[in-house]
């Protein structure tokens, strides 16, 4: 008979997320994860599978949080422009100053070699597509607020590219004012 779990899976995923975030996917070993979580390797494997499977669970939770938050913010506001500005501005604390130094877990993974793994590449690409679709949906919803030649798909792609750029820039700890000035330039696309 199998023994019941004596740990909270969410706590383990949070601890694993933190070690992956500090060290990066490539540099994190199972020994690091077991030391951080307090689980033995057999317990870790039984609950989450191998390192990649565990990290995919971590990414799913991380991405899910960002997508839910983004959907809420992009759904608010009297105009698409206001919603996109609010959405981008909501990331200022996460991509500036010392708090921003750790960067975005997803973007960090793309830059530390994590995309060499097909499952991680697919997971991150899916997240990016879903996030871009949320932006495009809001732009399409308020299409009448823009000029006739406004292309919601192209603008959503440009905004997504800028978002990714902000997350990369965060590792250089820009000031909040610098990030806000970048956002002001990005949102000129929404004129």
Considering the domain boundaries, does residue 45 fall inside one?
A: no
Boundaries of domain holding 85: 56-190
Question: Does a structural domain hold residue 183?
Answer: yes
What are the pLDDT digits (tens) for 103-144?
Answer: 999 999 988 887 788 999 999 999 999 999 999 999 999 999
Domain contains 89: yes
State yes or no: pLDDT of 179 exceeds 60.
yes
Residue 1 has pLDDT above 80, yes or no: no
Q: 17 or 191: which carries more pLDDT confidence?
A: 17
Place of tokens 């004012």: 177
Contact, 135 vs 58, CB < 8 A?
Answer: no
3 domain residue, yes or no: no
CATH number at residue 86: 1.10.357.10
Tell me, yes or no, whether 67 lies in a domain: yes
In a domain, 86, yes or no: yes
- Number of structural domains (the chain) is 1
Claim: this prediction has a pTM higher than 0.85: yes
pLDDT tens digits, one per residue of 133-160: 999 999 999 999 999 999 999 999 999 9
Q: Torsions phi, psi of 5, nearest 5? A: -65, 140
């Amino acid at each position: 008979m199998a023994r019941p779990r004596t740990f909270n899976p969410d706590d383990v995923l949070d601890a694993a997320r933190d070690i992956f975030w500090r060290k990066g996917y490539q540099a994190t070993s199972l020994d690091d994860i077991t030391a951080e979580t307090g689980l033995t390797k057999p317990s870790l494997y039984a609950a989450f599978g191998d390192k990649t499977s565990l990290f995919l669970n971590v990414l799913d939770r991380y991405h899910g949080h960002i997508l839910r938050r983004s959907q809420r913010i992009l759904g608010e506001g009297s105009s698409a422009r206001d919603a996109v500005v609010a959405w981008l501005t909501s990331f200022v604390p996460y991509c500036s100053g010392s708090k921003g130094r750790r960067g975005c877990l997803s973007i960090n993974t793309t830059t530390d070699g994590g995309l060499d793994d097909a499952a991680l590449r697919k997971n991150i690409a899916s997240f990016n597509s879903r996030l871009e679709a949320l932006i495009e949906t809001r732009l399409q919803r308020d299409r009448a607020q823009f000029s006739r030649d406004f292309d919601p798909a192209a603008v959503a792609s440009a905004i997504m590219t800028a978002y990714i750029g902000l997350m990369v820039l965060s590792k250089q700890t820009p000031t909040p004012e610098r990030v806000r000035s970048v956002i002001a330039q990005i949102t000129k696309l929404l004129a």
